[in-house]
Every structure is written in structure tokens, then in C-alpha cells.
Amino acid sequence: MAKKESTFLNMVITLFVVTMCAALALGGIYIATKEPIALAQKAKTEAALKAVVASDVTFDATEQVKHGVADGDTIRLNKLLSNGELVAYAVETFSRNGYDPTPIKIMVGFSLDGKITGTSLISHKETPGLGTKLGEPKFADQFIGKDPKTFSLVVKKDGGEVDAITAATISSRAFCEAIESALELLNKEGGNN
Amino acid sequence: MNQFQNFTKGFIKDNPVFILLLGLCPALGVTSSAFNGLGMGLATTFVLICSNTVVALVKKQIPDKVRIPSFIVVIASFVTIVELSMQAYVPALFDSLGLFIPLIVVNCLVLGRAEGFASKQNLLSSVIDGAGMGLGFTFALTLLGAVREILGNGSIFGWKFVEGDAILVFILSPGAFIAMGYLIPLINKMRKTA
């Protein structure tokens, strides 16, 4: 078959067919992957929830308090219950002040007396190899067991007590800020401390 | 040129990154570790094989004047398919590579092979060319990523052999250019002696 001439009609038909095939293929893939994607994200949030509570705490139910409306703007306070009794808090929080405008989303665990029991990075778009170290134990584990009432949640460069990541001070600051906003909501909603 | 040479040319002789200097944006952007380079290379290989196949199949039906927009639509569709499937079935890999997958659309290498090779050759040659070029690209990205990871983080494929921080500049963007600048003459020397 000879190559098609570049007449106006041929070009319009070709582009129409090509884009229609592409649209159909993409629509199909979107529908096929929608559910697995939602599941994967839910699993990730749940894993983060388990990772931030103290290892001796077990819970069988969660109760959620939302703060904010838009998806990227919501702080979710999860009250972890065991046999109907409150055992710990896990707060899904965020900060927009990282190195990339995309919010850094983290999960922070608090014990009933207000101490931090762990942090876990959920999603972010910080610099690969630098800001990504927010999730590594060297940085994330320094918060464990700290009481925010006595521990200053500010990086050392700004006069606080947090060891920032080398060459990623901005990401480290944003991480601290996210914990601060989690704490704010906890103090407002938690009530008992 | 037989099919074996067609396949192997992507590694050294016509290596997309070091010799053809195509697809430098992802090559410099994602290679902060060897694993990122490998993942990005394999994703690009998949898109290259798929787009080369489709372009070789439909080349006679596409009028010359609209060939570039048609090829771009084909490539962009495959990239989105890769992105969505990765997000759904390998979320761990998507966490580290998700940012860069949309960049494959504007990778000159993919369009370059569709336009310069697949639109002129038969189906078999095009598929083999896509696989060879893609794996050559993967090789280049993994090599660059490994060099930067070793110098910048003191580790290789995540296995750390130097405690603490290494030469951080190699993880940052300038390090990509520096590492690339030394690798290009090295590969070119190898190519001449080979």
C-alpha cells in the first residue's frame, strides 16, 4: 500500500482516529487501575498508622476527626481505640513549605501523655537523595519519645533542638512544621492533656 | 546490518546518552542513585518498544505532515499507561520514580527512534531497535546513577559502605553534569578502541 497523501481530509481523519484510539485505551486503563491505586494508597496510610504508634500499643478500631476540606489541606486525627478505650493518637498531617510546592504528607503518632511515638513519611516530592532522607531512621527516629512541651520542634540552625538533614534544611523545617500543626489539632481535639 | 548488530548498537556504538546525546533530561535528572537509573531506564525501554511497534505498524497510514503529532499521541498514551499501572501494581517503585515518568513523553530518544528508525523500517527491526536502544539507555542511566551514588552517598544500589555523608554535590544537579562530563569521553575512548 502506498503512503497516504497529505491532503486536508487525510490529515483530519488520521489525527481523529489516532486520538480516538488513544482516548479509548487510556479510558480503559484508568478504569482498570482506579481501584488498585486507591487500595495501594489506603494500604500505605494504614501501614504508616501502624508504624508510628508505640510497639506495645495494640488497637482494634479508629475514629477519625478531619480538619480542613480540600484533599491536600486536610489534617486527620485518628483516635486509636482498643475495646472502646482510647490508647493512642495518630495524626495525618502536611506542610506546604518543603523544597517542592507539593505538600509533604506525614503521619505522626502521639501517646496519651502527649509524647511523640513515631513519624512516617506518606508522600512528598522533595529532592531525590536529599529531601527523601526525611523518611530514614537517622532523621525520623530522633523524634521518638520526645515531649513537644519540653522539646523544641525547630531545627538547630534556627535555635531549636532538631538535627536537620545535611543540605536539606528546608525539607527538615517543613517536616517540623507538619508535626507542629498535628500537635495544634491534637491539643484542640484531644482535650485530655 | 544484521539484527544482532541492530540490537547491540545501543550499548556502546550508538549509545543514546553517551554517543547520540539524546534523552539527557531524564539522564541528568533521575540518576541520583543506581536503582532510580535502572527503574527509569526500564520504563523508557517499555515505552520505546511499544511506540516503535505501533509506529512501524501504522507508518503507511499516517500522512507525512501529521506524523509528529500522531507519534507524540502514541508515545504519551503509552507513558500514561505505564504511570497508571505502576501506581496501581508497584506502588513502591512509583514512590521513587513517579515524579519522572511523565518526563518520558518529552524524551527525545523515544520520538527520535520513532521518527528516525521505526517510521522507515519494518516491524521486526523496529522492535529490536527499541529493545536495544532502551537497554542501552538503561545501561547508561544505571552507570551514571551508580557513579553518582558511590561518590555522593557512599553506597551502591542502597548498600552503604561509607558511614555518614559523602561528596554531596554528586547527588545534586551539578554533580550530574560533572559525572556526565567525565563519562562521555571515557565511553567515546572505549568505542574507538573497541
Q: Is B19 inside a domain boundary? A: no
pLDDT, tens only, B101-147: 887 887 888 888 888 888 888 888 888 888 999 999 999 999 998 99
With residue A75 as reference, give the H or E element that holds it.
Answer: strand A75-82
Name the pTM for this structure.
0.73
Distance CA B9, CA B11 (A): 6
C-alpha cell at B141: 542511566
Q: Which of A12, A18, A99, A104 to mutate to test the interface with B (most CBs of B within 10 A)?
A: A18
Q: Is B21 inside a domain boundary? A: no
- φ, ψ at B167 (rounded to 5°): -80, 90
What residues of B are in contact with residue A29 (Cβ under 8 Å)?
80-81, 84-85
Q: Is B22 inside a domain boundary? A: no
**Closest Cα in chain A to B37:** A128
Please report where in the chains the cell 520542634 appears, as a residue: A153
With residue B159 as reference, give the H or E element that holds it.
Answer: strand B159-160
Q: Is B166 inside a domain boundary? A: yes
pLDDT, tens only, A68-102: 655 556 788 888 877 777 888 888 888 888 888 88
Judge: A6–B65 Cβ closer than 8 Å, yes or no. Answer: yes
Q: Is B4 inside a domain boundary? A: no
Judge: A4–B65 Cβ closer than 8 Å, yes or no. Answer: no
Q: Report how many domains make up chain B.
A: 1
Domain span including residue B75: 29-193
Domain boundaries, chain A: 57-190
Q: Which of B57, B71, B83, B99 to mutate to test the interface with A (most CBs of A within 10 A)?
A: B99
Q: Is B15 inside a domain boundary? A: no
> Does ipTM top 0.90?
no
- Write out the DSSP string of B78-114: HHHHHHHHHHHH-HHHHHHHTTTGGGGGG-HHHHHHI
Q: Is B11 inside a domain boundary? A: no
What residues of A are in contact with residue B88 (Cβ under 8 Å)?
33, 36-37, 40
pLDDT, tens only, A16-68: 998 999 999 999 999 999 888 888 888 888 888 888 887 667 776 677 777 66
C-alpha cell at B96: 521513587
